Amino acid sequence: MRKQIAAANWKMNLSLAQAETLLNELVDSSPTLGAHQEAIFAVPAIYIPLALAKLANKANVFVAAQNCHQKEAGAYTGEVSASMLQSMGVKHIIVGHSERREYFTESDALLAEKVNAILAIHSTPIFCCGEPLAIREAETQNAFVEAQLKNSLFHLSAEDIIKVVIAYEPIWAIGTGKTASSAQAQDIHAYIRSCFASKYGEVVANEISILYGGSVKASNAKEIFSQPDVDGGLVGGASLVATEFTAIINALS
């Protein structure tokens, strides 16, 4: 059975006191997780030690980083490597978020290097893909997303590709309040899975978790997560409210 995942992306938000309060509230809420389910918290790098301490010994709960550098070490002032994160106990790292692609001009080739770096230290990349509004309006989103997957992931072996979690982001739905319908989410998730099936075969494709990442909230999570090819969500704004994110975790089927 594929893993079902509720992943929180705090982005660049919260003071230290606010982060501690939110983590305390999340621990106190005791969300329900099945054996095949995970909750992942991608917090700002500076709060990783705090999150690791607060969430220690919670079954199927993990702390993630929001990014890493592609090199293992070197003269890269201000950067953090995958191996540094692993040494702290971080087992998941987000790469390719639309904001990283847009604001920091991260290319598909660069993201392939980051994925390689994460897999090399036996951690899990959460690889983001998705289209902007102009591509969606032109109805060319399938080809756009397929190119992102091919350029950054299709060099991997079947053994490695099943270690990658995919997060599909309709960029036009991030922070806008707009959400793809559950049917739209299912359509693109099914297409993404078909891309992996064409490259690696259906058995491998059916082992890959694909998360939806566009304005997921407590009120729509259950319907979105009920779709057969949607394996959970990568959640932004709603993950900053303990009651909202707990409800989203509990919406995993």
Q: Which residues are catalytic?
A: 97, 169
Continuous segment of H or E residues that includes residue 86: helix 82-88
Q: Is the dihedral of CA 228, 174, 112, 139 positive or negative?
A: positive
> Which residues 6+ apart lie within 8 Å of 101 measured at CB?
none
- Beta strand 37-42 pairing with 92-95: unpaired
Pairing state of beta strands 92-95 and 124-129? Answer: parallel
**Three-point CA angle 199, 138, 136, nearest 5°:** 65
- Which residues face 62 on adjacent strands? 40
